[in-house]
Amino acid sequence: MDYVDANIIIYAFLDEGAKSEACKRLLTDADLVTSSLSLDEVAYKLFKKVSPAFASTALKILLSSPRLAIVPFQHEHFSVFTELVESGIYPRDAVHAATALKSNCKFIYSEDGDFDRLSIPRKTPW
């Protein structure tokens, strides 16, 4: 499985064109993992950019996706999380990274270059 960051999910719902289509394909065709934090980040962005109803609909779509595993941030993630924060990774990024590492993901799909400091390679779907 691969990890998908919130920014890729947001592109699938907000953008148009090739980037959006690539993100939609990824979410449809790949077996993915994301942190429950991603739901908050996606909802916040869609709530502000479009509407509360649109944010709610998007979350329902994500929650019903058979190929997207939403992993809660749990106590077992804290040792990796704190190591990442101590190494200079921002706390929200560290939640995503710890979730990806503890889920044994092969890649992180994200546009965020901060993930380039991890042992897991970062990719974009476009």
Q: Which domains does the chain have, with CATH numbers?
A: 2-109 (3.40.50.1010)
Instruction: List, in sequence order, every beta strand (DSSP E) within the chain.
Output: 2-4, 32-35, 68-71, 108-109, 122-123
Handedness of CA 25, 31, 34, 39 (dihedral sign): positive
For residue 103, which of 92, 93, 95, 114 has the smallest C-alpha distance?
95
What does the pLDDT profile of the chain (126 residues) look like in tens digits?
Answer: 999 999 999 999 997 899 999 999 999 999 999 999 999 999 999 999 999 999 999 999 999 999 999 999 999 999 999 999 999 999 999 999 999 999 999 999 999 999 999 999 999 999
Please report, as a single letter, which amino acid is at residue 112. D
For residue 123, which of 41, 32, 14, 13 has the smallest C-alpha distance?
32
What pLDDT is stored for residue 15 in this prediction?
A: 75
Beta-sheet strand order (sheet of 108-109): 68-71, 32-35, 2-4, 108-109, 122-123
Give the span between the Cα atoms of 16 and 76, in whole angstroms: 38
What pLDDT is stored for residue 72 in this prediction?
A: 95
Cβ–Cβ contacts within 10 Å for residue 64, how many?
8
